[in-house]
Structure 1
């Protein structure tokens, strides 16, 4: 099973992200665009794991969420990984209450490490992927760098399974850990 922990986003935000993608296309940006069903914020990519570890992940997520309150974050702006000179991923950023988001990420991570999971050592950079392999040349995107899209309340954390169906990557929700 290919697993990751993330935050699913509400339908209204998914519609805003689709509109943002259309705006980018209208400016001439090309790439492999993500579908609305695949919009999410990844907290921790776990990789290929045996199904038998799922209860341990669920327990860790539940403990991390148990005494945490829901919190607001906002979505907007534009960025790329690794750089604008060599863009691989085009994304929109996550702002607002990053302290709460980082504390949630750190709690989940600490509990998983305590259960002997090996996790990526990358710095946490919350974002929502809009497109892979974007072609950005010679487009001026400066007006979109700080564009605010929407604010929403994070109420739960999701364990996702990443599967390929009919040649398309799909994310299936396996478990929701609700915040207070």
Structure 2
């Protein structure tokens, strides 16, 4: 069984920027467990534990979806959190992709996976990059610091750089005490214009 998801991986420039963001925000919130920037990705579909046959079907779905969508670019938009203000669970970096191609890619991929018997998350797609996971409730001072970061001016945290997307990746996730290790199983190149 292979713990599998389909995602956009970050390039080195994005990883450097996200490392800088995490470094800045972690000064205000040292008690939060921050993600290793080398492992940050934008998840399009989490599929869970798959047999070899299911993995082959997932790769087939990703290849088909990629062949139907043209390359695009996006920007990192703002910091936010999931969960309530009193008990946030995740700190994330948002993604701005005004052409709608990212949402189209997600819809096409979901359709291809569903046609192959995969159960699809029915919640609205909220493209983001997870920067931190918060396992236990934050102290009042930490909550205040997080809200200050999230509601304040985020200059220097967001990037005006545009990041190109030319492929989606079928990824393997292995969980260890030290954290998750991700391995790309298949790169699926987006449709090339003729």
TM (normalized to structure 1)?
0.92
Change (3 A) 1:33 1:171: same
Contact kept in structure 2, 1:162 and 1:171, CA below 8 Å: yes
Change (3 A) 1:166 1:85: closer
Cα RMSD after superposing both structures? 1.8
Contact kept in structure 2, 1:72 and 1:97, CA below 8 Å: no
Alignment of structure 1 residues 31-180 onto 2, 5 Å: 31-97=32-98, 99-133=100-134, 135=138, 136-139=142-145, 140-141=148-149, 142-144=151-153, 147-149=157-159, 150-165=161-176, 167-179=178-190, 180=192
Contact kept in structure 2, 1:71 and 1:97, CA below 8 Å: no
CA distance in 2, matches of 1:7, 1:67: 16
Q: How many residues align?
A: 180
Going by fraction, where is strand more abundant, 1 or 2?
A: 1
CA distance in 1, matches of 2:85, 2:39: 23
Show structure 1 runs of 5+ residues with no match. none
Show structure 2 runs of 5+ residues with no match. none
> After TM superposition, what 4+ stretches of structure 1 lie above 3 angstroms from structure 2?
144-147
Contact kept in structure 1, 2:4 and 2:171, CA below 8 Å: yes
Moved more, 7-16 or 165-174: 165-174
**What is the deviation of 1:83?**
2.6
